[in-house]
Amino acid sequence: MKQKLESLLLHAVETLKADGILERELNPKINIERARDQLHGDFATNLAMMLAKPAKMNPRQLAEKIIVALATDKAVTKVEIAGPGFINFFIDPKAQYQIINTIHQQGNKFGLSQLGAGKKVQVEFVSANPTGPLHVGHGRGAAYGSAVAELLAAVGFEVEREYYVNDAGRQMDILATSVWLRYLEECGEVLTFPSNGYRGDYIREIAANTHRESSNEYRHPVTLVFEEIPADEPQGGDKDKHIDALIARAKTLLGDKQYHDVFQTGLNGILADIRQDLSEFGVDYQQWFSERQLMDDGSIDEALTRLRDAGHIYEKEGATWFASSQLGDEKDRVVVRENGQSTYFASDIAYHMNKLDRGFDQIINIWGADHHGYIPRVKAAMQALGADTEKLKVLLVQFAVLYRGGEQVQMSTRSGSFVTLRQLRNEVGQDAARFFYVMRKSEQHMDFDLKLATSKTNENPVFYVQYAHARVCSVLKQLAEKGLQRDIPAGEENLDKLTAEQEVALVSSLTRYPEVVERAAVQYEPHLLINYLRELAAEFHSYYNAHQFIVDDVAIRNARLNLIYSVKQVLANGLNLLRINTPESM
RNA sequence: GCGCUUGUAGCUCAGCUGGAUAGAGCAUCGGCCUUCUAAGCCGAGGGUCACAGGUUCGACUCCUGUCAAGCGUACCA
């Protein structure tokens, strides 16, 4: 419909040019939007106001001329000038009603498109360090990232979902050592757990499993383990020196092979948990990409060599630096430390080189907002590698600030005091959690009161949308119980009987669905889809209360049933896209 | 200090990429179930869109400045 109006207007502009009213060189962008108010018809354009100045006419006069030049079209019943110079179009309801038939034909394919034309897009999200279970902060990235991925897939992109596993670095050593110390406790050793170790219960579980499976294989007496280890902070020492010494001790006492075993046990245990958690949350990945692999297969060396060859690398104070400040970053960054170890950033350069080599047309990184300062250096690295930085899109997700009954909940993986995603899912339910996370714009700071979310689950808007779906199902069930059947062709023939205010509104909303999906996908804003579903549900509930569907008049009955069936279909399509269930009864 | 993000109803948030009278949920108040699910509907009150300038036919939306909040500003990951 929009396209049709656009071409009508383009023709009108050409006519005016031919008549000498408009200058030949003018090439206006035709802007057509849906009218917000029904009084203003269905669509409106601001064309006359845009052209008023170059044409040296007042907008309303020009609008009149445009309308005169406009070719007539069956679907357009009325065109009028309004306000400062809007041209409003009123569309024949009959043309709009066709959407109901379209929805019947396309079913769960309605709303899908080929906009993406099969372009390859990678969406990397969550990628939380595997040092503990996912907490509610990660949940937002998980829900948002998967919604973005699903939307892109729906509009025809070939999407690959990826989780970057930070399985290298000091944090992981701390994790391995924490597991080992808990394991020693399982063996019966008595020790003071380092203040900087991971204290969560999940570490004890992993340690207990290890002990069950391997008995005392990794056991060493505590006296040996802590011999000449610098004091921990609570004992007046330095917590970092303390834990680093313990890591080194673990490596010597266990040897490479056994240390690696313990390390791997910890990593696998947590990763398995994360994987299961996400899968249960409706988030599935095609790829789990290991940071350690980049080190082992020489990718990091290769990336640095490429940067060096391109003249972006220099040595200073014993370290190796990437001259990112010349490519838009605030300052240069270390890639290889004085001690010879590469930095996390070096891994990330290699990782992005790898992504580029995999031939994606678009690379989307979804990061926590606390990483925003990181964007310029990654873009700088991509540019230095000779890539188009436009290929990379970083979407930031603000963290939710957690409250419990008005009091802020502090979260720290290290101390083990945090609310896990799993707890949240169990408390508020799968659908509510997903819906809630995606409901708000991703860059919006979010307050999340757990007490409110858990105590008043009925107020969660997800039920409102699901309820609309269930109500339609219920009507269709009632129909069968009354020995009646939905006559689809009869409904199609009588769509013009749908003249009630609520019916017109619903039909108009149904026609919007494909546009909403496209917009939500292209702008990476799944909350637009949520808003749409809430509006559609509201219009349906309103309709439900105002009119009876199973009426004696066969023509009206079937027309109405076709309409509400279409509503159910679109609600289901939208909820499915968001991986939210569509209950048939509630 | 500098940078990024945000500031809209009592609270939590939308506002369709510059359009017509700024919307919804919760909370408050008043109505609607002997007929398809009341997890619903109908209605009322509630706003200096942080503040001040600017850009133009028109600004919650764009620009500048001020104020406030969160985050960042490592040879941590």
pLDDT of residue A424: 85
pLDDT band at A405, cuts 50/70/90?
low
For residue A417, pLDDT over 70 is answered with no
Does A159 share its domain with A185?
Answer: no
A86 CB inside 7 Å of strand B: yes
Does A272 share its domain with A294?
Answer: no
A325 CB inside 7 Å of strand B: no
Residue A336 (CA) to nucleotide B18 (C1'), in angstroms, measures 49
Q: In what side-by-side order are the strands of the sheet with A446-449?
A: A407-408, A400-404, A446-449
A177 CB inside 7 Å of strand B: no
Across A475-499, average pLDDT: 93
Domain extent at residue A469: 460-577
A190 CB inside 7 Å of strand B: no
pLDDT of residue A423: 87
Does A475 share its domain with A568?
Answer: yes
Does A57 share its domain with A38?
Answer: yes
A439 CB inside 7 Å of strand B: yes
Domain-ending residue, one of A354, A377, A397: A397
pLDDT band at A50, cuts 50/70/90?
confident
The residue count for chain A: 586
For residue A527, pLDDT over 60 is answered with yes
Which letter, b or e, does each residue of A385-410 get, where b requires 16 or more Cβ atoms within 10 Å of its Cβ?
bebebebbebbbbbbbebbeeeeebe
A166 CB inside 7 Å of strand B: yes
Domain-ending residue, one of A280, A299, A331: A280
The closest alpha carbon to A549, from A565, A569, A533, belongs to A565
For residue A278, pLDDT over 60 is answered with yes
CATH label of the domain that carries residue A559: 1.10.730.10
Q: Which residues pair with A161 in a beta bridge?
A: A123
Does A189 share its domain with A219?
Answer: yes
A318 CB inside 7 Å of strand B: yes
- Shortest CA–C1' contact from A515: which nucleotide? B16
> For residue A105, is it within any domain?
no
A372 CB inside 7 Å of strand B: yes
Residue bearing tokens 């083990």 = A416
Q: Which tokens go with A412? A: 């720290």
| Range scoring the smallest mean pLDDT among A145-154, A192-201, A230-239, A394-403 | A394-403
For residue A456, pLDDT over 60 is answered with no
Does A271 share its domain with A290?
Answer: no
- Shortest CA–C1' contact from A46: which nucleotide? B19
pLDDT in tens, A492-526: 999 999 999 899 899 999 999 999 999 999 999 99
Residue A499 (CA) to nucleotide B31 (C1'), in angstroms, measures 27
A399 CB inside 7 Å of strand B: yes
For residue A115, pLDDT over 80 is answered with yes
- Shortest CA–C1' contact from A49: which nucleotide? B57
For residue A191, pLDDT over 70 is answered with yes
pLDDT band at A8, cuts 50/70/90?
confident
| Range scoring the smallest mean pLDDT among A243-247, A441-445, A567-571 | A441-445
Chain A 543..572 CB hits on strand B (< 7 A): 544-550
| Range scoring the smallest mean pLDDT among A83-87, A113-117, A137-141 | A83-87
| Range scoring the smallest mean pLDDT among A45-59, A212-226, A363-377, A439-453 | A439-453
A534 CB inside 7 Å of strand B: yes
pLDDT band at A243, cuts 50/70/90?
very high
A44 CB inside 7 Å of strand B: yes
pLDDT in tens, A122-134: 999 999 999 999 9
CATH label of the domain that carries residue A380: 3.40.50.620
Residue bearing tokens 């013009």 = A496
Residue A444 (CA) to nucleotide B71 (C1'), in angstroms, measures 13
> For residue A407, is it within any domain?
no
Residue A359 backbone zone (phi > 0: left; psi -120 to 50: alpha; other: beta): left
State what percent of residues in chain A have pLDDT above 90: 66
A414 CB inside 7 Å of strand B: no
Chain A 202..241 CB hits on strand B (< 7 A): none
pLDDT of residue A300: 96
For residue A447, pLDDT over 80 is answered with no
> For residue A68, is it within any domain?
yes
- Give the count of beta carbons closer than 10 Å to the beta carbon of residue A96: 19
- Give the count of beta carbons closer than 10 Å to the beta carbon of residue A154: 25
> For residue A108, is it within any domain?
no
Residue closest to B5, CA→C1'? A443
Tally DSSP H helices, then E strands, for chain A. 21, 15
Residue closest to B20, CA→C1'? A83
A304 CB inside 7 Å of strand B: no
Total domains, chain A: 4
Cβ atoms A521, A150 nearer than 8 A: no
Mean pLDDT (chain A, rounded)? 90
A586 CB inside 7 Å of strand B: yes
In whole angstroms, give the CA distance from residue A308 to residue A453. 53
- Shortest CA–C1' contact from A337: which nucleotide? B75
Does A78 share its domain with A35?
Answer: yes
pLDDT band at A40, cuts 50/70/90?
confident
Does A152 share its domain with A291?
Answer: yes
pLDDT of residue A459: 66
CATH label of the domain that carries residue A57: 3.30.1360.70
The closest alpha carbon to A210, from A269, A252, A275, belongs to A269
Residue A401 (CA) to nucleotide B40 (C1'), in angstroms, measures 32
Does A140 share its domain with A182?
Answer: no
Across A457-486, average pLDDT: 90
Does A477 share its domain with A530?
Answer: yes
pLDDT of residue A457: 61
pLDDT of residue A101: 95
Residue A405 (CA) to nucleotide B10 (C1'), in angstroms, measures 17
A82 CB inside 7 Å of strand B: yes
pLDDT of residue A411: 66
Domain-ending residue, one of A47, A74, A91: A91
Does A470 share its domain with A571?
Answer: yes
> For residue A240, is it within any domain?
yes
pLDDT band at A455, cuts 50/70/90?
low
For residue A218, pLDDT over 60 is answered with yes
Residue A503 (CA) to nucleotide B22 (C1'), in angstroms, measures 26
Give the strand pairing for A446-449 and A400-404. parallel
The closest alpha carbon to A342, from A290, A392, A310, A296, belongs to A296
Across A463-484, average pLDDT: 94
A34 CB inside 7 Å of strand B: yes
> For residue A106, is it within any domain?
no
pLDDT band at A407, cuts 50/70/90?
low
> For residue A252, is it within any domain?
yes
- Find and list the nucleotides of strand B having atoms within 7 Å of a protein beta carbon: 3-7, 11-17, 19-21, 24-27, 35-42, 56-58, 70-77
> For residue A384, is it within any domain?
yes
pLDDT in tens, A250-275: 999 999 999 999 999 999 999 999 99
Residue closest to B36, CA→C1'? A475
Top-confidence residue, A315 or A16? A315
Across A185-198, average pLDDT: 94
Does A273 share its domain with A314?
Answer: no
A101 CB inside 7 Å of strand B: no
